Chains A and B, each alone.
Chain A
């Protein structure tokens, strides 16, 4: 009896009887299979491609390939005036356009060092928080779809529709608003807008409860997410994670508190982090829970803003908008807490032009996604889907 190695196909144990070789047993070599997940796949949330090396159902390696949605955002910015960048920022994180505009506006205002009316700040915070809820609704809904629960998704979209209606009423567009301008707003909010927002807040509270009954309190949902894709806090910080992803790992870091901007210091809200009772800190369930809790906090913020809002008398939303933006030579980095984490803009001005010399966007999704390779090692294919869903990427912001 002897062993023969057959050109990489594994060893074959054979014996010789007179002149013929009799194969006793084959030890077939197993090969890993390359599985291209995306760019057209239902759960990569857009045009992300993950090249997975799989051993049966187990992922041994998953490498994200980006750039299918690259639209030269940063180069475009260098060719338009400062105010004309605002519509482009909508198209970064198209699920949270208001927040992206907000981040860009405060960055340029920091560069110009201008004061803006108080009512503008309040309206900005209200629309940004509304948009945050809408964005988290999409995140939670699509996460349900990733795990096979279809109905929560439509419940989320039903409620998101109301928010989009409100924002459309204020800005004229459903997703790409061009509403928060540098130094002010495009328009004041319509009459009765605040009343309707208040109605939405009272309407949404029980709906959020229903949503958590369908997902967070569902045994199968918990089984699919508990302890999956655990990210320790120190590794998360080293990766540069931010937003609900970082808070899911137990780090209490929220730019609205840690690097306050606008009127956030005056408002009373908590920064929710998982305490390890409902979930393992840093797993997919923690990240999902943080998003769910944040919606509640956003509702609180909106209520406070409506109560404290200065009156509209003699208010001109465009009063502080500079006629021509030509900042002094210099550079600035401004950032804001987006639904997906820190969205920052680094802007360089040469002091002569009305166009930015350089405008770099620091995308939270891109940074969060970079940990994919670490997170996916040794997971099953369904868990990989659960992890991608919990990262909550928007490819518009990843690829820019």
Chain B
């Protein structure tokens, strides 16, 4: 097993020199370390993953909601409506690009861009297979948590720039919500980082590989890992504004929240960012708690299922499957539950999730020190 690796426990990432490496790595990613061509080569598949997660995320959302509600969903474009999203994107591309007369044009235009960048940059540090990661930062997890916070700026820019009272309400709610829920989310992820002893996403994943398959996943490696797992899942729902925490875009209250005034391609970009974020948090939870690209199948006697189903291509299959599974759960919740109220949402964050996140943090630390 990976006891050898796990025994290297220390928390080097809090030391000053590690932070230097982090900034160097970032700088290298953009300018010096890698030739520009390589960056683009790394980015292209990521763009495709993001676009596919959008296309089939939207299609899946419509189909899943339809099946839950005794409907058929899109059926006209292509077999079973499979090309519906593409038709929708083509439609949105042709739409007039409207900027409201009284809007702050700069903020209005820049908002969706920042939103998209925030959710898409996190894709850079997600290991999609043992052979493919956009940027193998040694503080990948930290980067992923941090970069998502940029979305807040985009939402605020979009909401304020729209010069619409409903948009403003949506933006203010959203900022309050995302900033609050980042705390339990980050602490819950720290529990995973503590179990791994590193913030390097690729290493976190590698530490969860082994011939017993799912038994090596961090979720099953400690008796209290389910608590940070649950906390992160709930907090991530709030972070990406999904139901039952979709109060920033609460349709029945705020029309559409911060993107009320958006139409055409800008709306599509906001949509892309939303579905991108959904996949992103789902991938993060799979990487930190459910083994990322590792196969969940164990070896049974001489049947080496685990070896057969591991490898770079299988890895991509597993992480995307796990990610889509969590997206499915998010949709399932969305189409089942009503929406919380603003104050109830904050209550849940500060008085339930955050204390429990701290408790799970301490318990994980104790377990990691005294584990048998």
- Which residues in A have some Cβ–Cβ distance to B below 8 Å? 33, 35, 41-43, 57, 144-151, 154-155, 158, 214-215, 218, 220-221, 223-224, 380-383, 385
Taking a contact as CB atoms under 8 Å apart, the answer to whether B338 and A144 are in contact is yes
A147 CA to B250 CA, complexed, in Å: 9
A218-B337, A223-B341 are known; give 8 further A-B pairs, CB within 8 A: A33-B165, A57-B342, A147-B338, A154-B69, A223-B340, A381-B253, A382-B341, A383-B341
Is A155 within 8 A of B69, CB to CB? yes
What are 16 A-B residue pairs whose CB atoms fall within 8 Å in the complex?
A42-B251, A57-B169, A148-B243, A148-B244, A154-B71, A158-B69, A218-B337, A220-B337, A224-B339, A224-B341, A380-B342, A381-B169, A381-B254, A382-B253, A382-B341, A385-B252
* Contact of B70 (CB < 8 Å), options: A57, A148, A158: A158
Complex alpha-carbon distance, A13 and B180, angstroms: 33
* Cross-interface CB contact of A43 among B68, B169, B253, B340, cutoff 8 Å: B253
0/1 string, B236-258, CB within 8 A of A gives 1: 00000001101100111111000
Residue of B nearest to A142 (CB): B252
B353 shortest CB reach to chain A, Å: 16
> Which of the listed residues B247, B251, B337 has the most CB atoms from chain A within 10 Å of its own CB?
B337
Asked if B344 and A223 sit within 8 Å, CB to CB, the answer is yes
For B342, the closest partner residue in chain A by CB is A57
Instruction: Looking at the assembled complex, report how far the CB atom of B320 sits from the nearest CB atom of chain A, in whole angstroms.
Output: 27
Per the bound structure, the CA–CA distance linking A381 and B252 in Å amounts to: 10
Q: Is the CB of A382 within 8 A of B338?
A: no
Q: Are B336 and A151 in contact (CB under 8 A)?
A: yes
Distance to closest chain B CB from A153 (angstroms): 8
Asked if residues B70 and A147 are in contact (CB atoms below 8 Å), the reply is no
Chain A hits for B253, CB < 8 A: 43, 381-382, 385
Contact between A148 and B246, CB atoms less than 8 A apart: yes
**7 residue pairs, one from A and one from B, having the closest CB atoms:** A148-B339, A154-B69, A149-B338, A43-B252, A147-B338, A148-B338, A382-B341
- Closest residue to A40 on the B side, CB-wise? B255
Q: Is the CB of B255 within 8 A of A220?
A: no
Give the chain B neighbours of A218 by CB distance below 8 A.
Answer: 337-338
Please give, as numbers and ranges, the residues of chain A lying within 8 Å of B68 by CB-CB distance. Answer: 151
Report the minimum CB–CB distance from B342 to chain A (whole Å): 6
Bound complex: CA A220 to CA B246 (Å)? 13
- The answer to whether B70 and A155 touch across the interface, beta carbons within 8 angstroms, is yes
Chain B residues within CB distance 8 Å of chain A: 65, 68-71, 165, 169, 243-244, 246-247, 250-255, 335-344
Q: A151, B250: Cβ atoms under 8 Å?
A: no
CA distance A382 to B341 in the complex (A): 6
> Considering the chains assembled together, what is the distance between the CA atoms of A144 and B69 in angstroms?
14
Question: Chain A residues with Cβ under 8 A from B70's Cβ?
Answer: 154-155, 158
Distance in angstroms from B351 CB to nearest chain A CB is 14
Q: How many angstroms between the C-alpha atoms of A184 and B71 in the bound complex?
A: 39
Contact (A42, B252) CB under 8 Å given A147-B339, A148-B243, A150-B335: yes
* A215 surroundings in chain B (CB, below 8 A): 338
For A158, what are the chain B residues with a Cβ–Cβ distance below 8 Å? 69-70
Name the contact of B252 in the complex, choosing from A148, A221, A383 (C-beta under 8 A): A148
Q: What's the least CB distance linking B34 to chain A, in Å?
A: 45
Q: How far is the CB of A313 from chain B (nearest CB, A)?
A: 40
What is the CA–CA distance of A218 and B246 in the complex, to the nearest angstrom? 17
Contacts of B243 on A, CB cut-off 8 Å?
Answer: 148
CA distance A382 to B252 in the complex (A): 9
Find chain A residues with CB under 8 A from B244 CB. Answer: 148, 220
Q: Is the CB of B69 within 8 A of A151?
A: yes
Most buried by B among A148, A150, A158, A218: A148
User: B336 to chain A: which residues have CB within 8 Å?
Assistant: 149, 151, 214
Q: In the assembled complex, which residues on chain A have CB atoms less than 8 Å from the CB atom of B341?
A: 223-224, 380, 382-383
Contact residue among A145, A150, A220, A380 (Cβ-Cβ distance under 8 Å from B343):
A380
A223 to B, closest residue via Cβ: B344
| A149: min CB distance to chain B, Å | 4
Among B69, B244, B247, B253, max chain A CB count under 10 A is at B253
CA distance in complex: A35, B250 (Å)? 16
Q: How far is the CA of A383 from the CA of B343 in the complex (A)?
A: 11
CB distance from B131 to the nearest CB of A (A): 41
B245 → A minimal CB distance (Å): 10
In the assembled complex, which residues on chain B have CB atoms less than 8 Å from the CB atom of A42? 251-252, 255
Taking CB atoms, residues of chain A closer than 8 Å to B252 are 42-43, 145-148, 385
- Measured CB to CB, the closest approach of chain B to A318, in angstroms, equals 39
Closest chain B residue to A159 by CB distance? B70
Residues of B within 8 A of A149 (CB): 336-339
* Chain A hits for B335, CB < 8 A: 150-151
Shortest A323–chain B CB gap in Å is 48
